[in-house]
Amino acid sequence: MTAARLPLLMIADMPSVQVACRSVLQPAGYSLRIAATATEGMALFQETEAQTVLLDLGLESGGGLAVLRDMVALRPEARIIVITATASLPRAVEAMQAGAQDVLTRRPFDAARLLAAVERAVEATLAPAHDGHKAAVRRGAKAEPETAGDVFIGSSAAMRAVQDMIRSVAGSMATVFITGESGTGKELCALAVHAGSPRAHGPFIALNCGAIPQHLLESEVFGHMKGSFTGAISDKQGAAAAADGGTLFLDEVCEMAPALQTKLLRFLQTSTVQPVGAVRPRRVDVRIICATNRDPADAVRRGEFREDLYYRLFVVPIHMPPLRARNGDVAEIAQTVLDRFAREEGRQFDGFAPEVLALFRRHSWPGNVRQLLNVIRNVVVLHPGGRVTLDMLPASLHRAVRVARPDSTRVPVPVAVSDDAARDGLDGLIGRSMAEIERMVIEQTIARNGGSVPKAARVLDLSPSTIYRKLEGWGGKP
């Protein structure tokens, strides 16, 4: 992750908050610029061109919410994470309405949640080409027509199949369900479907169901009326109504709470929305595209996703292949983004040494295209130019490749697990409910990953928001 390109800006006047955030973010490789007043914060925001901001709403100088609105107006693509004193629904609603991406509390201070929120924000700013375009349409602007070939880099058979599917389905009204690992470009796929459709000049509204607190999600999707609950100081148009005449993209749809799944199903059946507190529903014309990095059928089997909603949404499935399955695309993507990043930084690079491309082809790229982009960005920011050689690559990539591909001269020795050992492992589970076993597995996985919920989520193939929700239900803290 290259914090040099995307500096983190923190606006907070409490030394304890500054120290706590720095102690979490600096070891993770982020650089942090700190402002202690609203005026200083806005000046640094403009000076550093920061794309990710941590903002304490409780500034003694006041104006925390005004600063938030000013930053959103000045740079709509910025990701702003708000910090509040305690978990307050009215305060959280107000911040989300003003444009905050995430709302955290400083009492209790949750290091894992802070790091996960920053990771999400920075990843969003490091997306492939069309970032500025994507940020604009996320907030409801008009999308310019473009083809799938403009959005995706790569000519592998796997990507050609995806592009063919996009061209086939774009012109219809059918609901599209996109699956794939994190970092494979699911939102770009949704944008390509929208851009190739008759709705291309309508709004493209993207909503990450996993990044919005569950108690705010209904309001974000369907809107609310002034006075419908504490903190609803004005009418709010939901994402479904904002997408009228265009496309509504629901990312991480499997993270929706059951009650909201019911309302989404009703919306799909009736094409009407009813904001919280409204007396009458309103008809809208919206195409739905949804996505998840999980297996939606497995979520149905687990009882986490309604079966009838699954069949309603899973009309045209598109699977985004992982980078390791896109033979030959790694070199093409790397060269394309190297040229683009070099232009942005005003530097001249002469391609990659053969051994670098060989390493790229060997690596499994667990973070997919997003990880490759981060590696290339790191190289461009930290080096003046020339041919990219092995010593210019991040040390973390070298370590990952060594771990993934041990010395081929060593012959692995198979380890047999005895029946007694297997029974010992089962003895601790026999007699327990599935809920107890699930809690044991999640908590022990978090512990084995140093308390990191995002890392545990990757091991368990779950969304971090799912784990956070379960921990909150158990009364525990990550």
Range of lowest pLDDT (93-97, 133-137, 278-282, 327-331): 133-137
- Whether residue 349 sits in one domain with residue 263: no
- pLDDT surpassing 90 at residue 291: yes
Q: Which of 98, 125, 152 is the last residue of a domain?
A: 125
pLDDT digits (tens, 9 = 90+) for 417-435: 344 433 445 555 666 667 7
Q: Which of 102, 98, 126 is nearest to 113 (CA)?
A: 102
The count of other CB atoms within 10 Å of the CB of residue 284 is 17
Cβ proximity of 21 and 13 under 8 Å: no
- pLDDT level of residue 200 (50, 70, 90 thresholds): confident
Average pLDDT over residues 351-380: 90
pLDDT attached to residue 5: 45
- Whether residue 29 sits in one domain with residue 165: no
Residue 320 one-letter amino acid: M
Is 303 or 214 the better-scoring residue by pLDDT?
303
Integer angstrom CA distances of residue 73 from 9, 78, 83, 205:
17, 10, 19, 18
| Cα Rg, the chain, nearest whole Å | 23
Q: Which residues contact 101 (CB under 8 A, 6 or more apart)?
A: 79, 80, 81, 117, 120, 121, 124, 211
Q: Which of 301, 321, 341 is the last residue of a domain?
A: 321
Is 343 or 232 the better-scoring residue by pLDDT?
343
- Whether residue 452 sits in one domain with residue 371: no
- pLDDT surpassing 50 at residue 340: yes
Average pLDDT over residues 142-160: 59
Instruction: Quote the DSSP letter at residue 122.
Output: H
- pLDDT surpassing 60 at residue 299: yes
β strands within 176-284, DSSP E: 176-179, 204-208, 223-224, 236-237, 247-251, 272-273, 282-283
Quick one: which H or E segment has residue 316?
strand 316-319
- Whether residue 343 sits in one domain with residue 464: no
Q: What is the CATH number of the domain that holds 461?
A: 1.10.10
Strands of the sheet with 32-35, listed across from one edge: 32-35, 8-11, 52-56, 79-84, 102-105
Q: Which residues contact 225 (CB under 8 A, 6 or more apart)?
A: 232, 235, 275, 276, 277, 278
pLDDT attached to residue 472: 63
Instruction: Quote the DSSP letter at residue 391.
Output: G
pLDDT attached to residue 403: 57
d(CA 224, CA 274): 8
- pLDDT surpassing 80 at residue 177: yes
In a domain, 441, yes or no: yes
In a domain, 426, yes or no: no
pLDDT attached to residue 279: 76
Q: What is the CATH number of the domain that holds 356?
A: 1.10.8.60
- pLDDT surpassing 80 at residue 306: yes
The three-state secondary structure class of 158 is helix
- pLDDT surpassing 80 at residue 400: no
User: What domain count does the chain have?
Assistant: 4
pLDDT attached to residue 97: 65
pLDDT attached to residue 415: 37
Domain with 342 in it? 325-404
pLDDT attached to residue 475: 59
Average pLDDT, the chain: 78
d(CA 312, CA 314): 6
Task: Let me know how long the chain is.
Answer: 478
- pLDDT surpassing 50 at residue 275: yes
In a domain, 446, yes or no: yes
Average pLDDT over residues 1-30: 76
Angle at CA of residue 124, ends 42 and 372, nearest 5°? 125
Alpha helices in 325-416 (DSSP H): 329-345, 354-362, 368-382, 395-404
Is 289 or 215 the better-scoring residue by pLDDT?
289
- Whether residue 284 sits in one domain with residue 239: yes
β strands within 112-246, DSSP E: 176-179, 204-208, 223-224, 236-237
Average pLDDT over residues 51-78: 81
pLDDT attached to residue 49: 76
Backbone angles phi, psi at 131, to 5 degrees: -60, -50
Range of lowest pLDDT (52-61, 80-89, 236-245, 344-353): 80-89
Cβ proximity of 334 and 328 under 8 Å: no
- Whether residue 201 sits in one domain with residue 348: no
Integer angstrom CA distances of residue 285 from 90, 204, 235, 237, 241:
31, 13, 21, 15, 9
- Whether residue 355 sits in one domain with residue 314: no
- pLDDT level of residue 242 (50, 70, 90 thresholds): confident
pLDDT attached to residue 443: 81
The residue with tokens 């006047």 is 13
pLDDT attached to residue 90: 59
In a domain, 348, yes or no: yes
Strand bridging mode 272-273 / 282-283: antiparallel
- Whether residue 333 sits in one domain with residue 217: no
Average pLDDT over residues 312-340: 90
- Whether residue 149 sits in one domain with residue 110: no
Return the percentage of the chain with pLDDT > 90, whole number.
17
What six digits make up the tokens of 298? 């497995």
Burial grade of 182 (CB within 10 A; 0-12, 13-18, 19 or more): middle
CA 350 from chain centre, in angstroms, equals 32
Instruction: Quote the DSSP letter at residue 237.
Output: E
Average pLDDT over residues 176-191: 90
Average pLDDT over residues 133-159: 50
- Whether residue 195 sits in one domain with residue 119: no
pLDDT attached to residue 126: 57
In a domain, 412, yes or no: no
Is 137 or 47 the better-scoring residue by pLDDT?
47
pLDDT attached to residue 430: 65
Integer angstrom CA distances of residue 429 from 421, 457, 474:
13, 22, 19
Average pLDDT over residues 330-338: 91
The three-state secondary structure class of 405 is coil
- Whether residue 314 sits in one domain with residue 233: yes
- pLDDT level of residue 289 (50, 70, 90 thresholds): very high
In a domain, 291, yes or no: yes
pTM: 0.57
In a domain, 419, yes or no: no
In a domain, 114, yes or no: yes
pLDDT attached to residue 92: 64
- Whether residue 262 sits in one domain with residue 183: yes
Q: Which of 360, 385, 404 is the last residue of a domain?
A: 404
Range of lowest pLDDT (123-132, 201-210, 287-296, 438-447): 123-132
